[in-house]
Amino acid sequence: MQSIPRPTSGMPFAIQDCALAAIATGKRAQNLRELRDNLRTIHPDSIYYHFWGGLLRPRFDDPEYHNDFAIWSLYALQDAMLAERLGIIDPTDYTDLEGLREEVVEVVEERLDQLEWVPWSKPDKQFYFVRSQIIVFDTHSRIERPEELAQAVPLMSIGSIFVHFVDARRRSAGGLDDFRAWIEGCFDGYKDLCNSLAKLDHFFSGLSELRKELTKVFNSYFGK
């Protein structure tokens, strides 16, 4: 994964943007047992891609399900029950990707135990495991004070929202997004603002909605 600099105390906030590159792993599954077996050994970046990647790419399958495993279970395996169980998994509940992997494997194994036969997909609907690599670039825009975020956030791309508020959490030992890391590291007296940011859902709402929610928080706090 590309190294991304964290905000530094005393420095302005550097707005970055990103794209999520998809890298083929050569692994695929045509039935539920093969999916489980591959899940056990696939690179962690593949788990990340199939959960978080959907935030950055257009998704036309079903907005009700927010990860690729659930979507495949529904449309390729025709297993609505499994899709529902996989679809409610919240990756933000897990401190690392290995914990998330274990949860997905457990759900799939439980479903296999319940079924009398192993469901298969059609040959043209196999599940292809993909890895992700985040490509980050500097927008050359800078913010000097927290109150400037009220005007800056609505103009940010969804890539900027992703890199600063979503992906940042797995780059931080404390699970902080870049906004809170910068505010807490450089300024005093913004505890209520940081608490409000910490409460925002950063997975199920989608990036466009998340940008709106961030804008509301900053506008409300700074009286815009």
pLDDT of residue 172: 79
pLDDT of residue 8: 53
Average pLDDT, the chain: 92
pLDDT of residue 9: 54
pLDDT of residue 171: 83
> pLDDT tens, 124-176?
999 999 998 999 999 999 999 999 999 999 999 999 999 999 999 988 778 89
Query: ∠19-102-28 over CA atoms, to 5°?
Result: 60
pLDDT of residue 187: 94
> pLDDT tens, 67-111?
999 999 999 999 999 999 999 999 999 989 999 999 999 999 999
pLDDT of residue 57: 79
Residue with tokens 């959907």: 54
Tell me, what DSSP letter sits at residue 120?
B
Contact predicate 68/50, CB 8 Å = yes
> pLDDT tens, 16-35?
999 989 999 999 999 999 99
Query: ∠37-43-45 over CA atoms, to 5°?
Result: 130
Mean per-residue pLDDT, 106-121: 97
pLDDT of residue 5: 54
Confidence of residue 1 (pLDDT cuts 50, 70, 90): very low
Q: Model-level pTM?
A: 0.88
Residue 40 reports pLDDT greater than 70: yes
Beta strands 13-29; 127-143: pairing state: antiparallel
